[in-house]
Chain A
């Protein structure tokens, strides 16, 4: 951390490149939530996500010398995470696996239960969306990356990213509608 509390990435990466293990630990600690979040959204299972996150960081630390310092670090990191997730998904297709399920903390409050149920529905809907759409959608809505950053991370044109996110939204809303997760909204009074 710098004096103003900002995370100084470049000096940290320089230390990582020099083989400083403390710097590597710091880098992993700083980004692990973000990487794990993407992996979890992509894979839908905690253990798979943790494995993918670990592989991502190992790959990142081994290939840190290939990162271009003139470019942003996060899209590069998340691109590697996305690739690891795709590999995990393709491996998963070859072996039977249980349905992805959201791991949620038991809570007796009805509102919390409803929210957890909704989250589960969204997660299930996400698992049915094409990988590219899902990755773009998660990077935009969950990781809050800009379209330009996602385009860099996924190495596709910006317009393609937009199309993927829009299609993902449409498919997710349709999936939620089919599963009855969208409440019926009555027609406003006065309209026929």
Chain B
């Protein structure tokens, strides 16, 4: 028997809840090997120590007679009031859902524009470009334009009701196709911005996602033909997106 066989045999005996000292094969090898002799003695000490741990004098049962009564009383306790944590999770879930929807809408709009608007630009015609302009509210970067609380008084005149204000003589023909997308975006964005703001207060880690969406939104606004956000020219006519689209169709 070698040392590996000895250890296997020792474990087998202990697995059978036997006494290793009484096993002749183990004793025979232990007589020849110092390490295994120590291991055999160690197993005996370990079992003795475990047995002593289990003695009632050392291991007193739970003294308190009312232990079971405490348990039963706790079982019948009404559940505690809901902690604020689930609320935070709810808002986080809402925020993620809404921001995902907004991001999807933005992506659709960009792709749509790239297909429709890109053709006109590629033609390089000299005909006057239809203007899709924005008011001073557009000069605000990112979601600030959509958050009533963050919009300065001057700018908030143009962002009544959280609607995105776009000023233009008429909506260009090639933009009519994505009226629905812009409509939905104009409705969803202010709500999303508010939700994101609340979520960010609860979960600061949400900030990078909000900033990314801001960048996307800003990029989209810059790429709309005629959307000169920094143009200081006072607008001739201001109208909400719905009115704008309706009048252009008419």
Give residues in A with beta carbon < 8 Å to B. 21, 24-25, 28-29, 32-33, 36-37, 40-41, 50, 53-54, 57-58, 61-62, 102-105, 107, 115-116, 118-119, 121-123, 141-142, 144, 147, 162, 165-166, 169-170, 172-174, 176-177, 181-183, 185, 187-188, 191
Our count of residue pairs bridging A and B at CB distance below 8 angstroms stands at: 117
Classify the interface of chain A: helix, strand, loop or mixed: helix
Q: From A24, A147, A169, A182, give the contact of B75 (CB < 8 A).
A: A24
Contact between B49 and A119, CB atoms less than 8 A apart: yes
User: A121 to B18, alpha carbons, bound, how many Å?
Assistant: 22
Contact between B58 and A104, CB atoms less than 8 A apart: yes
Contact between B46 and A102, CB atoms less than 8 A apart: no
User: A17 to B228, alpha carbons, bound, how many Å?
Assistant: 71
Contact between A176 and B42, CB atoms less than 8 A apart: yes
Closest B residue to A107 by beta carbon equals B57
Please indicate the chain A residues that have their CB under 8 angstroms from the CB of B64 in the complex. Answer: 50
Give residues in B with beta carbon < 8 Å to A. 7, 11, 14-15, 17, 31-32, 34, 37-39, 41-43, 45-50, 52-54, 57-62, 64, 67-72, 74-76
Q: A40-B59, A50-B62, A105-B57 are in contact. List 15 more A-B contacts (CB 8 A).
A: A24-B68, A28-B67, A32-B68, A53-B67, A54-B70, A58-B71, A61-B71, A62-B75, A105-B58, A118-B52, A119-B53, A119-B58, A142-B54, A182-B45, A183-B41
Classify the interface of chain B: helix, strand, loop or mixed: helix
Please indicate the chain A residues that have their CB under 8 angstroms from the CB of B11 in the complex. Answer: 166, 169
Q: From B14, B32, B43, B71, give the contact of A57 (CB < 8 A).
A: B71
